[in-house]
Amino acid sequence: MMNLIRKYNIAAPRYTSYPTVPYWDEQTFNLQTWKTLLKKAFHATNNKDGISIYIHLPFCEKLCTYCGCNKHITVNHAVEEPYIQAVLKEWALYVAAFEGRPRIREIHLGGGTPTFFSPENLTTLLQGIYQHAELLPDASLGFEGHPGNTTPGHLQTLYDLGFRRVSLGIQDFDPRVQEIINRLQPFEMVAKVVEHARKTGFTAINFDLIYGLPLQTACGMQDTIDKVMLLRPDRISFYSYAHVPWIKGVGQRRYSEADLPKDEEKRRLYELGKILFAKNGYTEIGMDHFALPGDELFVAAEKGELHRNFMGYTVSHTDLLVGLGASSIGDNGYGYVQNEKQVAAYQERVGSGEFPIVRGHILDEEDQLLKGHIRDLMCTFETSWRKADTQCDAVTEGLQRLQELERDGLVEVVKNSVVVTTKGRPFIRNICMAFDARLWRKLPESQLFSKAI
């Protein structure tokens, strides 16, 4: 296995979309075309599945040095109200473009730190969203919470607004690791938040853990997971640390690559986690996720109904994802858009009554086919092209690229289908790369993505 890790641990996308953002065709993107397709997507899906909404809340009081998210560091909470008003103005632009009343299937509050915002301001935000929409009775609502500032008031407010899922950014319980990543949050702090969440009525608690962080060791990982098991979250996201200082700048330059676990060490941390999760009753779901039986991701995976979009793995199969807030990405099924990343620029453009979009991509027929195949591989570890409308030249080219992975025992290609083997699951990003026609037609001149493993 270690020989395979050395061989395949190359820069690779995480495939929350196809094409990936660096390969969007921005030159041919047309905002008016996108608006027409947005309206078309809304009327096709709203009464069937409803829509999903991702709201990016980018503010944090401190910089976590490992973080790859778009964030704005400040201790000035006066930024809250103007930002919320901008998000609501952007939502009003979407509602006007839909020419119909949205039915909301899913909302996720991401960051940054959503719990940077006061419970009162979160109420203003969400009631403003609900005012112009119908919240479906079985809507799935979740938010990302920082253990250091998620108060009982936050939990009660969001519960009253329909939220039942909270994702807590744990990362690691080792004090040395917490110090170097500037994320000090002792076990007792996390335990208190989990206790409050369960008492409030939250039925789905997720922990985010990261392997490959600076100064991590197998002993420290064992201790972290032992502590996690005392709290027994319903779901665990076990992410590979993406060391991309050329993109994320000053934060990830606080330490050097010498502080990071090497390829083999890093993979052993993952394998250790995987063994311990299984020992404690968790099942591996898709890529990087583990869940207890009864968790909605577990159920969806068992039924073959797992879905993946810009929010990651989800059980909601909506074809229209609206991204609100600075840097948010939206997907209307026909194309993608991304908002202004800087808060000031975002607020200025929304304030002038325009969509704050800075880039986009309209999917062509080949994109649609490959998007489906890559999504199926990421969600179910297999895909097929038995029907004529799932075939194209790019699929044939992808099969040729899979030959070496097949020789290494990572996939099986039979009867117009490819199945990822158990041995191949850790290499799912490499396998999806085989079908990434846009990447192969223009290989990057510099490193765009984090390492695959």
Q: Which residue ranges are tagged as binding site for [4Fe-4S] cluster?
A: 60, 64, 67
Q: Which helix (H) or strand (E) holds 272?
A: helix 263-279
Contact between 181 and 221 under an 8 Å Cβ cutoff? The reply is no
* β-pair partners for 321: 52, 331
Contact between 205 and 168 under an 8 Å Cβ cutoff? The reply is yes
CB atoms inside a 10 Å sphere around CB 159: 16
- Reference 188, options 206, 168, 173, 169; nearest CA is 173
Distances 242 to 63, 126, 230, 295, 421 between C-alpha atoms, Å: 16, 32, 28, 27, 25
Nearest-angstrom CA–CA distance, 68 and 10: 18
- Reference 405, options 391, 390, 418; nearest CA is 418
Q: Which residues 6+ apart lie within 8 Å of 391 measured at CB?
A: 369, 385
Q: Which residues 6+ apart lie within 8 Å of 396 measured at CB?
A: none
* β-pair partners for 208: 169, 237
Instruction: Return the exposure string of 321-351: e unless at least 16 CB atoms fall within 10 Å of the residue's CB, then b.
Output: bbbbbbbbbbbbbbbbbbbbbebeebbebbe
- Reference 450, options 244, 168, 234, 171; nearest CA is 244
Annotated binding residues: 54, 60, 64, 66-68, 111-113, 144, 171, 183, 208, 242, 329
| CA 214, chain centre distance (Å) | 22
Helix (H, G, I), strand (E, B) or coil at 26: coil
Token pair, residue 91, equals 């939502």
- Reference 141, options 169, 105, 182, 176; nearest CA is 105
Annotated binding residues for S-adenosyl-L-methionine: 54, 66-68, 111-113, 144, 171, 183, 208, 242, 329
Q: Which residues 6+ apart lie within 8 Å of 34 measured at CB?
A: 332, 335, 337, 357, 360, 362
* DSSP letter (8 states) at residue 451: B
Q: What angle do CA 423, 285, 371 make, to 5 degrees?
A: 85
Contact between 291 and 116 under an 8 Å Cβ cutoff? The reply is no
